[in-house]
Amino acid sequence: MTTVTRDALMRTYPDPPVTFVRGEGSWLWDGEGRRYLDFVSGLAVTSLGHAHPAVADALAEQARTLLHVSNLYGTIVGPEVAAALDRLLGGGGQVFFCNSGAEANECAIKLARRWGGHGRHVVVSAYGSFHGRTLATLHATGQPAKHEAFQPLPEGFRHVAWDDVGALEAAIDPTVAAVLLEPVQGEGGVNPATPEYLAAVRRLCDERGVLLMLDEVQTGLGRTGAWFAHQRLGVRPDVVTMAKALGNGVPIGACWARREVAAAFAPGDHATTFGGQPLATAAARAVLAVMEAEDVPARAERAGARLRGALARVPGVSAVRGLGLLLAAEISSRPAREVVAAALQAGLLVNPVTDSAIRLAPSLLVTDDETDEAVRILTEVLS
């Protein structure tokens, strides 16, 4: 029995149903040696699976070489990773490194304000979105119920209905600097934007001289079957934020912007103690090298199509949505929470993304046998 007292932790999460002590690939182990198939991946973080040897080796070697110096000084790894990310994004941009998704969005919001200038600072985002838990990113998050306890929130945020071009058109006045959207709303229920919506948003942003900023914190780095979801949805953003999968579990985030937009920041406008440090960027460098060698976008597309097809045939699943390996299964027979609890008992980790849908976000290196096993467990749970 693993007994840990959580008394000294703030209660920002409910009591956990299980305590994990080890992971490898798509599998996790609890203190009793019981094995679980992980289709949550730390919420789309461990895209290369747990304890990936290339990432572990890179971390160990970097920890013995140079772990951290201030951003007042130059280092080797960060600039290399920035160039690699810029290449994956099609080039012509620059990167700011930070430590989380919320921080990547904070950078984007501050950049939009600096770019827009005084009086042109409003960021428009969508209802149902999730952009983080800091005060500014919480306000950008289009879930008013989450705002109430923390009012007053920073000024300068406005929300519009998702997938409604007319609503966005009406919301963009001369005070607006940027539109911030997820190409697939992750926490909001795994709702992909249509290419038509994003194309119309791009056109509108161009007409009104407003930045299009895409939050790819959850969708970025191969998960949706492209390096970035916007690439398969056919739109070119001005700013892209990312985090979750970039370090395969090592905290790192990044905000990329087109060079002309990034130029709005002058030295002193934004900064971070840890962001871009050698340890975190060494993890990211190893992650990107494995991702490119394995062609994870193609793997996510293939494994996603297979999983999607199998899920659609499970009795009790009424619909499957998402892109690549960021999927949600709509369950008609039982509440999502019950399904998630029963799946855990049966050795599968999934999470409820709405009252009626579960999210599946396995490692992008997941095997056919592992997806078959996940579908077998869900079939058993739902029967």
Ligand X SMILES: *Cc1c(COP(=O)(O)O)cnc(C)c1O
CB of 132 to ligand X, least distance (A): 4
User: Does residue 182 bind ligand X (CB under 6 A)?
Assistant: yes
Question: What span, in angstroms and rounded, lies between the C-alpha atoms of 300 and 38?
Answer: 16
Given a contact cutoff of 8 angstroms between Cβ atoms, the answer to whether 295 and 219 are in contact is: no
Tell me which stretch binds ligand X (CB under 6 A): 89-97, 130-138, 145-153, 313-321: 130-138
User: Catalytic: 146?
Assistant: no
> CA angle at residue 61 from 44 to 43, to 5 degrees?
10
CA dist list (Å): 59 to 74, 75, 194 = 19, 16, 39
Is 206 known to be catalytic?
no
Q: How far is the CB of 362 from ligand X (least distance, A)?
A: 16
Q: Which of 190, 217, 250, 343 binds ligand X (CB under 6 A)?
A: 217
Residue nearest ligand X (C-beta atom):
101
Number of helices (H), then strands (E), belonging to the chain: the values are 14, 17
Q: Are 326 and 224 in contact (CB under 8 A)?
A: yes
Which of 102, 212, 296, 323 binds ligand X (CB under 6 A)? It is 102
DSSP string, 162-201: TT-HHHHHHH--TTEEEEEE-SEETTTTSEEPPHHHHHHH
Residues 6 or more apart in contact with residue 140 via CB below 8 angstroms: 105, 109, 123, 125, 129, 131, 132, 157, 180
Residue 158 to residue 126: CA distance in whole angstroms = 8
Does position 106 bind ligand X by CB under 6 A?
no
Residue among 216 and 301 whose Cβ is closer to ligand X: 216
Provide, rounded to whole angstroms, the least separation between the CB of residue 61 and ligand X.
26
- Greatest Cα pair distance, the chain, in angstroms, is 62
Residue window 284-313: x/- pattern of binding to ligand X, with contact defined by CB under 6 A:
------------------------------
The C-alpha atoms of residue 62 and residue 127 are separated, in whole angstroms, by 42
Residues that bind ligand X (rule: CB under 6 A) add up to a total of 15
List 179, 233, 243, 382, residue binding ligand X (CB under 6 A): 243
Q: Contact with ligand X (CB under 6 A): which of 52, 110, 113, 131?
A: 131
Token digits of residue 147: 């705002």
Which of 23, 93, 183, 186 binds ligand X (CB under 6 A)? It is 186
Active-site residue flag, 130: yes
Tokens standing for residue 371? 């997806």
Of 130, 157, 228, 238, which residue is the catalytic one?
130
Query: Which of 45/291 has CB closer to ligand X?
Result: 45
**Contact status: 224 vs ligand X (CB under 6 A):** no
| Options 157, 215, 228, 238, the catalytic residue | 215
Active-site annotation, residues: 130, 215, 244
Q: Which residues bind ligand X (CB under 6 A)?
A: 100-102, 105, 130-132, 182, 186-187, 215, 217-218, 243-244
